[in-house]
Structure 1
Amino acid sequence: MDFRDSETALGPQHADLLPDSATTAVKVVIVGGFGVGKTTLVGSVSEIRPLTTEETMTQAGAEIDDTAGIERKTSTTVAMDFGRISINEELVLYVFGTPGQERFWFLWNGLFEGALGAVVLVDTRRLEVSFEVIGRLEDRGVPFVVAANTFPESPSYPTEELRAALDLPPEVPIVDCDARTRESSRDVLLALMRYLYDLPTPSAR
């Protein structure tokens, strides 16, 4: 998948360097089922050339992965995606995207190490692929927000219907998202930052 400034280059580019004014860096993770748009979100929001580990899907993989509803998908993330966005002059987010197929979920342990929170990206045409993802986050105690990605012909549900379908507690934010646009993807990350900021400290819980 092509993103701006994604051409091959040797060594770090000037645009890749961390701003001198940055004082705080936070790690967040983008999770979701297979084919919900995680790589697209990381690529659209990143201010540096995104790192992707996409490989062409083979017939052998198609026999393992559930491609129902995403039959046109031709590549898949096999390790992680990585990007960076400066929220302001001082705060920088390191954004890691996880692989969606269950057979690669063993990589989650490393990707979640040191992460402050997560975004669960969902496809309203295939909500069922998000159930176990959300369950794993809840088991880990990782705070998260849910972003409903916009796909052609994807149904739109009222927030409370979506909350009930995903069995989410009332305090978990649900936001709309178009992972193809930088502004929308940035707003999702800002929603996560606001949610994390409003969480009570461990001593206050």
Structure 2
Amino acid sequence: MQPIVDALRMRLVPIAGGLVGLLIIALIAAWLRGNHYRDNRNEWRDVAQLQRKAVTAAEKAAAARAEAVRIETETRYAEQARKADREEPASVVDQRAAADRYGDAHAGVRAPVHCGPSGGPAATAANGTAPDRDGPGADALAGYVTIPRVKYDQFRDNTLRLERVRIWGEGLIADGLAVPSEELGAPAD
């Protein structure tokens, strides 16, 4: 039996040696290939980190630019508001003077009466007399009512304030701080 074992050993040793050699070559190839994949993976990781840093830097720069634009816009807007508060436009000064002249020329300012249930012409009652407070009164001109000077001054001041706001709004549009209502789809009055 010894000669058979010796014969097998003689045949198997070269085969086993070849297999061991192939196994060593395969392990070396796998190790080299693994290094390639590890290097490639590290390269991709580095690229991703650089991209992440670039995006973060771009976001910070954009936020800084947006903040600068916001501050500049707020400054311009505040300056427009201060200017509107400090300076009364010449057209408003002229309108105020004209309204004051008109108010001074008339002891009680007369304004047109809008027809309606409380301000229309006096209605006759069943007995032929008008009910109390159903019309402008006998002392007013037909179609007009007298406004006390205090109410007239309030009306004038509010009207001129609205005119100043309109002029201020047009200034904001001219400076690019606001857009006209037509551009927003709102109906123009």
Query: Is the shorter-chain TM-score for this pair beyond 0.5, marking a shared fold?
Result: no
Which structure shows the higher strand fraction?
Answer: 1
Query: Normalising by the residue count of structure 2, what TM-score does the alignment of the two structures yield?
Result: 0.21
Query: Normalized per residue, which structure has more helix?
Result: 2
Q: Name the larger-Rg structure.
A: 2
